[in-house]
Amino acid sequence: MPPRISLGRSLRAIEFQSRCSKSSPSVSALCFRPATRRYITADEKPLPTADTSDPGPNQERLPHVSEEAAEMAKITGEGGPDIDQGTPIQEVLQRDPESQEKAPQVLQDDIKPAAPKGSRPYSTSARRQQEAMISFEDDEVELPGHKFGLPELPLQSNANLKYRYDPVIVQVTNLLMQDGKLSRAQTKMARILNYLRTTPPPTVNPNRPLLPGAPPASHLPLNPVLYLTLAIDSVAPLLRIRSQKGAAGGGVALQIPVPLGLRQRRRQAFMWILDAASKRRSAGSGKGMFAQKVAQELVSIVEGKSALWDRRGGIHKLAVSARSNLSTGRRR
């Protein structure tokens, strides 16, 4: 059978405390008595007012910025604050009398008297703009100059967008182009000029001088287009050898020297440069290596180390020895 619970024993273990009396000191500490509120009206007693006779250190009114500037101008002897810049505040204060009383003393002294009847009560900014406008009826007014100046008339035949680059750059770029891809050729041309601009100044060989009138070698990297033109024109041949069969009778072919024009000389020289650059040993791999080899060949030409100088000298010697064949090709 389950054990029975004895209620008598359990009630004896619970202690009961008697209710606290009012005279108990412990209860009095817990009893709070609400304070009575008293509402004072203006009729019963006036509200206290602040004593402004002796203001505190934080209650003094600071002067306006313009007033401080005016006082400093009087002390230092300099000009006062420039209050004419920006929005004309004087005109705004003239329309608002209440704001005039609260305005700084400097602005109150500068306020002009009210305009008479029949005049404009609003801002005269439109009149100021009209005075600042240029009167085109006056013949003495000079128009402002242009940034780059006007072109001289009549215009030149090559004053066109098509001729905006140097002729040497255009011709060399076209010779670098393959399969009609002009953008790739322009990229190679830019890399060649960049290499000529960033490379150290060359050392010119006195045995193989450049064209007369060339600038010093230390100035060449400052102008890479001139650097390129000087290298090409210095190694360009003046003549070419043409073989003509039957010029002396029979089937014997004679070598006849033929002079070349400016573009023909430059084309022949750059074709030699491309041939020599393709035979150079590459220092690495990449898309810009061929342009670097072409630039290195140009530098070697200026320094007199390229083999193209011997090739140019051989053609000139052959042309000088074959100049006697010029009379044989004429006909009566």
H or E element at residue 11: helix 7-13
User: Per DSSP, what are the bridge partners of residue 241?
Assistant: 257
pTM for this entry: 0.53
How does DSSP classify residue 164? -
Compute mean pLDDT per 10 residues along the chain, 332 residues long, and list them. Answer: 56 52 48 55 60 63 75 78 60 77 77 57 57 53 70 83 89 95 95 95 92 92 95 95 79 87 96 94 82 94 94 93 75 51
Q: pLDDT value at position 26?
A: 47
Residues 290, 270 contacting (CB under 8 angstroms): no
Q: Rounded to 5 degrees, what are φ and ψ at 245?
A: -80, 140
In sequence order, the 6+-apart residues with CB closer than 8 A to the CB of 307 are 276
The token pair at 229 is: 């033109």
Crossing angle for the helix pair 289-303 and 224-235, nearest 10 degrees? 60
Q: How far apart are CA 78 and CA 298, in angstroms?
A: 67
CB 255 within 8 A of CB 318: yes
Cα separation of 176 and 220, whole Å? 23
- Coil, strand or helix: which one is 154? coil
- Whole-angstrom distance, CA of residue 332 vs CA of residue 328: 11
Which positions ≥6 away from 283 have C-beta within 8 Å? 289, 292
Long-range Cβ contact pairs of 16-21 (< 8 A, separation 24 or more): none
